[in-house]
A = this chain, B = another copy of it.
Amino acid sequence: MSDRMLTMSEALREAMAIAMEERPEVFILGEDIGIYGGAFGVTGDLYHRFGSERVRDTPISELGIVGAAVGAALSGMRPIVEIQFSDFTAQAMDQIVNQAAKIHFMVGGELHVPLVLRAASGSGTGAAGQHSQSLEGWFANVPGLKVVMPSSPYEAKGLLLSAIDDPNPVIFLEHKLLYKIPGREEVPEGAYRIPLGVSRVLREGKDLTIVATGIMVSRAMAAADELAVEGVEVTVIDPRTISPLDMDPVYASLENTGRLMVVQEAPEHGGFLNEVIALVATGPALGHLIAPVVRLAGMNVPIPYAPQLEKAAVPQVNNIVAAARSVVADWR
């Protein structure tokens, strides 16, 4: 079955193909998604399979594209927009935030916007400050948007199918380092759906609860492997969707571990995973803490170009290991 160890690109492509076969109202639009196959190769051969109307190449006009998707969604379609780099959502923020997110509410339910916006997110490819951001925090603070951060090919396929089904706008942030790497789990061939708003516990351990998002999930898992050798047992939780956010497994785990670490790539100052900390600190889970919370996040810098700088700017496996080791050692 190792032929089902797909990359995230392959898994996403399968999800889109299934959705397009299931529903005539699903179509994809974006820059270079046609013959080119997508800036990261995600749409691949879909253009040849579904034609240029449903896999629709656009000019370089992010605001126009997202706006057109909003209008199509209001008119009964289910568009999937691909934005090449999540950084370019900046171009389309009005349509995302002032239109898509709010229309259903503002018009009193008369309309809704079943739209998926997929974008490549995160650093690690040497593309520097304007092509490497982790912007999930912007969208998470906008009521009316759902925000998904798949951490593996398996998750990506199941979550994308749910996102396409959802009658609301969904921001789907794909870490670009995951596109080309086969996952550690088989990806089932047909359709399966992972509900939005359900966290996944990837690993259970009694010493520390790690909540990580996107690419940091695999780094946390790698760190957990290393830590296990030293006898430090770690729980790793992947929220999968940050809006809505499912905290129940975190609370449950903290009852056992008493120690919490959050790990995100986005800049630390004002970053989204503060929400996890806040929910713990404002509720009964606070009483279970036996140590200060550990926060690992991107440095408060634009992502730099040179590889040694770029690596230093965001948490790596060794940073997670070191921080975990010391919080467990220092707080008994």
Contacts and interface: CB of A to CB of B under 8 A. Distances in A.
B102 A97 contact: no
A98 B90 contact: yes
Interface centre among A135, A286, A302 (most CB of B within 10 A): A302
Given A98-B87, A278-B278, A281-B281, A143 B293 contact: no
Interface in A72-92: 87-91
A266 to B, nearest CB: 7
A202 interface: no
A25 to B, nearest CB: 26
Contacts of A280: 281
B130 A98 contact: yes
A282 B286 contact: no
A284 B266 CA distance: 24
Nearest to A147: B270
Can you tell how many copies of this chain the complex includes?
A: 2
A247 B212 CA distance: 26
Contacts of A137: 137-138, 141, 270
Contacts of A130: 98, 102, 106
A90 B101 contact: no
Interface string A239-257: 0001101000000000000
A13 B180 CA distance: 55
Given A293-B282, A294-B282, A105 B93 contact: no
A189 B138 CA distance: 39
Interface string A106-135: 100000000000000000000011100001
Interface of A: 87-91, 93-94, 96-98, 101-102, 105-106, 128-130, 135, 137-138, 140-144, 242-243, 245, 266-267, 269-272, 274-275, 277-278, 280-284, 286-287, 289, 292-295, 299-302, 304
Given A90-B97, A137-B138, 4 more contacts: A90-B96, A91-B94, A141-B269, A282-B294
15 contacts: A89-B93, A102-B302, A106-B128, A135-B141, A140-B269, A141-B267, A270-B274, A277-B277, A277-B278, A277-B281, A278-B295, A281-B289, A281-B292, A282-B295, A286-B293
